Copies of this chain bind each other. A is one copy, B any other.
Amino acid sequence: MIEEIRCAVLGLGRLGYWHAENIASKIQGAKLVKVIDPLKGRAEEVARELKVESWSENPNDAFKDENIDAIIIVTPTSTHAEMIKKAAQHKKHVFVEKPLTQKLDEADDVIQVIKENNISCQVGFMRRFDPAYVEAKRRIAAGDIGKPLYFKGVSRDGNVPQEEFIKYSGGIFLDVAIHDYDIARFLMNDEVHSIQATGNILLESNKFMEKYHDVDQGLSTIRFKSGAAGDVETTRIAPYGYDIRGEVIGTEGAIQIGSMRQNDIKLFTKNQTSHDLVQDFPTRFKDAYLLEMVHFIDTLRKGEQPLCTAWDGKKALEISIAATSSFNNGETVLLKH
């Protein structure tokens, strides 16, 4: 087993910073040796805070650095393909945030280059590492619900993004529902055969989304190759909190994943009892973000394949693109691959 994986984090936005923080202090066998962000001053600041020995404002500094084993790519999605390819060509292992790329042919390119250079590449579908999903997967694999027949996903967020974000997000199916598509493949242990999607702008204040052919609520209906089916509800306007649920119905039972409870306390006041709700994804998936990185480092040290490869990244992308296209033209879309 390799003693230590020397990592660089590329992109120090909100998510990049957490990844950097986790690697810097919470993961055995990992060492954060460089942080990089083109934004003036950002890398230096982060390096100081996290006590990282080296920083740069030039992404290329990560690829060429002989001292680096693995690169964590947390840059805007449009740059992922180029970043992964460069990393691969320099024999650096890659952890890349979801989505893998924005286009299918880019994904194919990337997978090709990864293979040729024989590097490891893990995609940031952190739900696969969330303890509740992990336990659900274990139970399903153990046969506790028989043969899976139906997947139901709900992803609701209450924090409506700014127009600037929506513009480049790729749309609700690519930006949000992709997590459900990935976890559906994971839990059902099945591939998507076809998908159909609809959507609506439910809030007046989101009318601007029309310009970007986007919606604040989408629903997709899935058929799996095995004959199983499913649906995924995606909402940006939940006024009460951050609400992520999963359900799998099998021949012998069903499993429900998720709870919105924030703290393990209940308040009782005149006539009612209440508890707090989780408000955002950083809170809900805090553990998962750490655990996916632990897994990344672990598999690198042991020379094993990650649970969630570039191939998985491509499959989820393919489903998202098909959903988007179904939403746009009103027809059921068959997946080719």
Query: Among the listed B146, B259, B260, B272, which residue makes an inter-chain contact with A277, where contact means beta carbons less than 8 Å apart?
Result: B272
Cβ of A227 and Cβ of B200 under 8 Å apart? yes
Tell which of A34-42, A171-179, A246-254 binds the partner.
Answer: A246-254
In the assembled complex, A274 has its CB within 8 A of some CB on chain B:
yes
In the assembled complex, A65 has its CB within 8 A of some CB on chain B:
no
Q: How far is the CB of A103 from chain B (nearest CB, A)?
A: 28
Given the complex, which residues of B lie within 8 Å of A203, measured CB to CB?
A: 149, 251
A 272-292 to B, binary, CB cutoff 8 A, 1 in contact else 0? 111111010000000000000
Given the complex, which residues of B lie within 8 Å of A136, measured CB to CB?
A: 265
In the assembled complex, A271 has its CB within 8 A of some CB on chain B:
yes
Q: How far is the CB of A268 from chain B (nearest CB, A)?
A: 4
Cβ of B276 and Cβ of A272 under 8 Å apart? yes
Q: How far is the CB of A204 from chain B (nearest CB, A)?
A: 9
Return the chain B residue nearest A136 by Cβ: B265
Cβ of B260 and Cβ of A273 under 8 Å apart? yes
Q: How many identical subunits does the complex contain? A: 4
Q: How far is the CB of A209 from chain B (nearest CB, A)?
A: 14
Cβ of A257 and Cβ of B265 under 8 Å apart? yes
Given the complex, which residues of B lie within 8 Å of A79, measured CB to CB?
A: none
In the assembled complex, A2 has its CB within 8 A of some CB on chain B:
no
Given the complex, which residues of B lie within 8 Å of A217, measured CB to CB?
A: 149-150, 229
By Cβ-Cβ distance, the 9 closest A-B pairs, closest first, are A274-B274, A240-B268, A132-B264, A253-B269, A254-B268, A135-B263, A149-B202, A200-B229, A256-B266
Cβ of B259 and Cβ of A240 under 8 Å apart? no
Given the complex, which residues of B lie within 8 Å of A331, measured CB to CB?
A: 330
* A window 123-159: CB within 8 A of B: 131-132, 135-136, 139, 144-146, 149-150, 152, 156
In the assembled complex, A239 has its CB within 8 A of some CB on chain B:
yes
Given the complex, which residues of B lie within 8 Å of A198, measured CB to CB?
A: 196, 221, 332
A 318-337 to B, binary, CB cutoff 8 A, 1 in contact else 0? 00000000000011100000
Given the complex, which residues of B lie within 8 Å of A223, measured CB to CB?
A: 200
Return the chain B residue nearest A240 by Cβ: B268
